[in-house]
Amino acid sequence: MRVASLTDFLLQRIDRNCGKPMNRQLYQVVREAILDRVMPVGLQLPSSRDLARELDIARNTVTYAYEQLMAEGYLETRKGAGTFIADTVPDQIPDAADGGTLRPRKTGSIGLSERGAELVRHAGAYRFQWGAFMPGVPDVSAFPNKVWSRLQNKHWRRSRPEMLTYGHGGGYLPLREAIAEYLRVARSVNCTAEQVIVTSGIHQSIDLASRLLADVGDRAWVEDPCYWGTRNVLTSLNLKPVPIAVDAEGISPGNADLRHPPRFIYVSPSHQYPLGQVMSLSRRRMLLEYAEKHNVWIVEDDYDSEFRYASRPLASLQGMDTHDRVLYLGSFSKTLFPGLRVGFIVVPPTLADAFATGLSDLYRCGQLFVQAVLADFMGEGHFASHIRRMRVLYAERQQLLREAIRRNFGDALPISGDDAGLHMALVLPDGCDDAALCREAQEHGIIARPLSGYYMKPERAKRGLILGYACVPSELIGPSFDRLAALIRPRLPRL
Amino acid sequence: MRVASLTDFLLQRIDRNCGKPMNRQLYQVVREAILDRVMPVGLQLPSSRDLARELDIARNTVTYAYEQLMAEGYLETRKGAGTFIADTVPDQIPDAADGGTLRPRKTGSIGLSERGAELVRHAGAYRFQWGAFMPGVPDVSAFPNKVWSRLQNKHWRRSRPEMLTYGHGGGYLPLREAIAEYLRVARSVNCTAEQVIVTSGIHQSIDLASRLLADVGDRAWVEDPCYWGTRNVLTSLNLKPVPIAVDAEGISPGNADLRHPPRFIYVSPSHQYPLGQVMSLSRRRMLLEYAEKHNVWIVEDDYDSEFRYASRPLASLQGMDTHDRVLYLGSFSKTLFPGLRVGFIVVPPTLADAFATGLSDLYRCGQLFVQAVLADFMGEGHFASHIRRMRVLYAERQQLLREAIRRNFGDALPISGDDAGLHMALVLPDGCDDAALCREAQEHGIIARPLSGYYMKPERAKRGLILGYACVPSELIGPSFDRLAALIRPRLPRL
């Protein structure tokens, strides 16, 4: 390539009207030509003065581009001789042994891992996170923003550097103390602050527990149906979730299951997700005795039991455990707001140090400011009073939803899980295609999730709709359900 | 157990002076006795009136405890006959097949998994996160708190429910746009907002990329030495980090390495962590060509290149990649403050959907408020001006540290990596026990991390100290280093 043809080359590739600075364009065109080996090593470039004249641009522009290219190693100057393309061509790359170039996995062409492709295929998170009848979302519009803002400002005003750097250990101690105190009183959880590990929510809690307690290929019992997130986190860590049937008393392992103890058992005893039943006392005792006998861990997901309408809240499974086999998971997503991303694990004392270390090392924590604000929010009593207010509100909304169901269907469609929580399951007859129904509802602007989608074993799957009522304004519950009912009705067998 | 002995039993276990409410104590003692099978199934309890008299407590107290026990299923009433211990004894638990009770793993007695025990053993996160010479921590006391608070309040005032619920997809779009714009200009990264995935920092970015791109047992090249966090995240996901030597030009795979392409290559080309050299252009070209030839992903960790003192910042490796093999990782931990927990991955367009889905599904995102505040902070120019201010400040502090080193040791101890970033490496002679030195320094209130600890291959490990200067007040740098020097000196061979 001679200087004349170099100039032509550049002129063809530079666009004076594209709005991009000329020095940037020049830099990029030359750089690309070098990387593509269009401009060979050792080629001498014209002086900045000559090139500026040839291209009819300011000399500074050329100088700037040359300097950047020089700084990055594309060009070099030889004393008295001028500017040259530097030798940055890498050595010949050897072929792979055993022809071992990595081929895309059998997961499609974009090159995901097998676990990655599996995760994307079974993705459960929903694009819509607000509206009738989004399950699992509280009424965030009732959150006391002003109080929160005030506490937030207080902490930012007296900002200490320690609060802005990485966290270390199990979280901000005053928050851990506030959580321990709350759990002792409200959930009969047996714990000290040191056992409380502050996470970014249930997902991180499952993730941490799975990595620290289970190895690749280990089995973990999950309820069937269960929360999609649990399954996805376990699978993406290469654990094997074993689906165990649930009955009216909760998880119900058969003798064949019991003969093969898993590494841990993941259960939602206070309000089975998504069906909503409470685990019976004898089932609880069975699980605890089994866990002790076989060195199995129990992971108790207590995601929304603060909102219990029909009776006093039951004590946690953790509180009944006298052999330190239970890890208790909770979250502020349902009691305050999901976007807060604060949850916690209460671990047995023997695991407290390992979990605190694992947390800092795996996730490099922080958000101490948020944790401090939350600690104050609890300490000043706003947490307890917010829960009280919301319990009244959600009870009313649940009542409205139950009335709307009765008005439309009488007793023909059973309701499951309305003792507690933010959602209920409306059970549909076996033949009903609940997934298609939910897609249709979505086209009408109504969110409902199909019960069958929560099952791992298709032959076990009941049909139904998971309906959240907590985040739906009271006056919209009846009308929204009426619209949904109009879509349900044609899909029912003649009653 | 007869009623009389039951009363004795309760009297022995109830403590009127312990401050715990009597109804709670009664509930707990009876519950425990049932769970421990001290009170047998079918045992009749005295009426609340009788028991209250026997224990000399209020009848209401007994009634409350009975009701709670009844609600939880421990007691039952039989019509007209009274209150009895309910049958909640679980069925006989079958033995495990093949005597398969899970034994604690060979990881000590507390029952961690092998990967969990490995993680705890190699934990790298440091208890102290602030002070001379903490590496990797910016001067958070210079952060413009007031501006941040103002933006925060603005968003909380006009709070929309969507901002408080779960996030979905790759993050808050205006923030992704602001990041893309910034990266295009400042780092020559080639991207649109859709390619930007907002994470909670480098750790989550590595975690997500590892799960989506690599399976159990896959190999990933890492620089040796490298950041401890990378290694720990990879290992806890059962990838095999393969340590590749670095030389003055950056990562330097030998022919034996090159013949076995890994699943991905993890590099810090702008400022090798922790040694600090910049990857040469020919090494960059070699990596890119190799990645294209063998379908290997490159993960570029660009953790602190905003702070470059000696020359203009180099373009990112991502910007040179014409075959979509590079994932670019960045973070606001060094530019703003670590506790913010916001980072990002820029992925090739083909991976954008999968990464957005994986993010929501694995971690259930949120913190949209924080993302909105950050988007405004960038949009209003505070981000750029904060970086400019900090660059001047850190350059000054680096200069002070270099002077203190020269004052104490002349040119006897080489300094590595002082072109950019928040830390430098002070290289010590081979025989020097840098780990012991750092422990000693810590006893004197000085933080330094041993260079040898960052190596995976011990025979390769250089000795030295990783010294952060960004978060140390200028006036403390000289005196703090003098104290450190007094500890270094006796460990040096006679010069």
pLDDT, averaged per 10 consecutive residues of chain B (495 residues), comes to 76 86 90 87 91 92 91 87 88 72 63 90 79 91 94 88 88 97 92 97 97 96 96 96 96 94 96 92 93 95 88 83 95 94 97 95 90 97 96 96 96 91 95 95 95 95 96 96 96 78
Q: Would A110 be classed as within a structural domain?
A: no
Of B110, B338, B357, the CB nearest to A120: B357
CATH code where residue B403 lies: 3.90.1150.10
Q: Which residues of B428-442 are buried (b: 16+ CB within 10 A; e: fewer)?
A: beeebebeebbebbe
Domain C-terminal end among A27, A57, A85:
A85
Residues A404 and A369 in one domain: no
Residues A301 and A171 in one domain: yes
- Read off φ and ψ for residue A156, nearest 5 degrees: -70, -30
Residues B171 and B289 in one domain: yes
* The pLDDT of residue A128: 74
Residues A477 and A405 in one domain: yes
List C-alpha distances in Å: B114 to B106, B109, B119, B237, B456: 8, 12, 9, 12, 19
CATH code where residue A171 lies: 3.40.640.10
CB A116 to CB B211 under 8 A?
Answer: yes
Residues B238 and B357 in one domain: yes
Of A36, A71, A213, the CB nearest to B116: A213
Give the tens place of pLDDT for each residue, B345-375. Answer: 999 999 999 999 999 999 988 889 999 999 9
Q: Which residues of B touch A104 (CB under 8 A)?
A: 295
CB B35 to CB A95 under 8 A?
Answer: no
Q: B88 vs chain A: nearest CA distance in angstroms?
A: 4
How many domains does one find in chain A? 3
CA atoms of A42 and B118, how far apart (whole Å): 51
Q: Is the pLDDT of residue A485 over 60?
A: yes
CA atoms of B328 and B264, how far apart (whole Å): 13
Give the tens place of pLDDT for each residue, B23-43. Answer: 889 998 999 888 888 888 999
Residue of B nearest to A34 (CA): B285
Q: Would A483 be classed as within a structural domain?
A: yes
Structural Rg of chain B based on CA atoms: 31
Q: Parallel, antiparallel, or unpaired for β A463-468 and A423-428?
A: antiparallel
Q: Would A117 be classed as within a structural domain?
A: no
Q: How far is CA A320 from the centre of its chain?
A: 30
Of B112, B124, B214, the CB nearest to A213: B112
- A300: helix, coil or strand? strand
Of B72, B337, B369, the CB nearest to A281: B72
* The pLDDT of residue B78: 87
Residues A199 and A337 in one domain: yes
Nearest in space to A397 (alpha carbons), one of A465, A337, A477: A477
Residues A334 and A414 in one domain: no
Residue of A nearest to B164 (CA): A339
* The pLDDT of residue A310: 75
Count CB atoms within 10 A of the CB of residue A76: 14
Task: Please report, in angstroms and rounded to a whole number, the separation of the first and last CA atoms in chain A.
Answer: 85
Q: Would B482 be classed as within a structural domain?
A: yes
CB B156 to CB A157 under 8 A?
Answer: no
Nearest in space to A31 (alpha carbons), one of B348, B292, B316: B316
Q: B246 vs chain A: nearest CA distance in angstroms?
A: 16
Residue of B nearest to A209 (CA): B116
Residue of A nearest to B311 (CA): A71
Q: Would B174 be classed as within a structural domain?
A: yes
Q: Is the pLDDT of residue A101 over 70?
A: no
Q: Would B33 be classed as within a structural domain?
A: yes
CB A363 to CB B203 under 8 A?
Answer: yes
Of A95, A211, A366, the CB nearest to B341: A366
CB B281 to CB A86 under 8 A?
Answer: yes
Q: Would B149 be classed as within a structural domain?
A: no
CB A212 to CB B366 under 8 A?
Answer: no
pLDDT band at A65 (very low <50, low <70, confident <90, very high): very high
Residue of A nearest to B21 (CA): A185
Q: Which residues of B touch A366 (CB under 8 A)?
A: 201, 338-341
CB B113 to CB A214 under 8 A?
Answer: yes
Q: Parallel, antiparallel, or unpaired for β B82-85 and B44-45?
A: antiparallel
Q: Cβ neighbours of residue A211 under 8 Å, at least 6 residues apart?
A: A237, A358, A362, B113, B115, B116, B119, B236
CA atoms of A220 and B298, how far apart (whole Å): 34
CA atoms of A59 and A48, how far apart (whole Å): 6
Q: What is the mean pLDDT of residues A413-433?
A: 93
Q: What is the mean pLDDT of residues A41-63?
A: 92
Confirm if B193 and B173 have CB atoms less than 8 A apart: yes
List C-alpha distances in Å: A288 to A58, A247, A253, A285, B181: 80, 18, 13, 5, 55
- Give the CA count within 13 Å in the CB-facing half-sphere of A263: 23
Count CB atoms within 10 A of the CB of residue B218: 19
Q: Would A103 be classed as within a structural domain?
A: no
Q: Which residues of B touch A127 (CB under 8 A)?
A: 168-169
Q: Which residue has the tokens 């986190």?
A: A233
Residues A423 and A321 in one domain: no
Above 0.90 for ipTM, yes or no? yes
- Residue A494 vs residue B231, higher pLDDT: B231
CA atoms of A243 and A387, how far apart (whole Å): 33
Residues A305 and A338 in one domain: yes
Report chain A's mean pLDDT, rounded to a whole number. 91
Residue B15 is part of which domain span?
A: 3-85
Domain C-terminal end among A352, A379, A406:
A379
CB A285 to CB B89 under 8 A?
Answer: yes
Residues B374 and B299 in one domain: yes
Q: Which residues of A touch B123 (CB under 8 A)?
A: 357-358, 360-361
CA atoms of B72 and B41, how far apart (whole Å): 15
Residue of A nearest to B364 (CA): A203
Domain C-terminal end among A379, A406, A435:
A379
Confirm if B102 and A221 have CB atoms less than 8 A apart: no
CATH code where residue B52 lies: 1.10.10.10
Residues B49 and B197 in one domain: no
> Which of A236, A284, A308 best probes binding to B when mutated, by most B CB atoms within 10 angstroms?
A236
Give the tens place of pLDDT for each residue, A164-187. Answer: 988 888 999 999 999 999 999 888
Would you report the helix, strand and coil content of chain B in percent, each value rounded to 5? 45, 15, 40
Q: Which residues of B touch A144 (CB under 8 A)?
A: none
Residues B446 and B470 in one domain: yes
Residue of B nearest to A163 (CA): B339
Q: What is the mean pLDDT of residues A313-320?
A: 87
CB B125 to CB A361 under 8 A?
Answer: yes
Dihedral angle computed from the Cα positions of residues A193, A199, A205 and A211, in that order, rounded to the nearest 10 degrees: -100
Report chain B's mean pLDDT, rounded to a whole number. 91
Q: Cβ neighbours of residue B240 under 8 Å, at least 6 residues apart?
A: B217, B218, B219, B220, B234
CA atoms of B24 and A491, how far apart (whole Å): 51
Q: Which residues of A36-52 are buried (b: 16+ CB within 10 A; e: fewer)?
A: eeebeeebebbebeebb
CA atoms of B222 and B170, how far apart (whole Å): 26
CB A368 to CB B339 under 8 A?
Answer: yes
Q: Which residues of B touch A157 (CB under 8 A)?
A: 145, 149
Q: What angle do CA B10, B15, B21 make, to 5 degrees?
A: 100
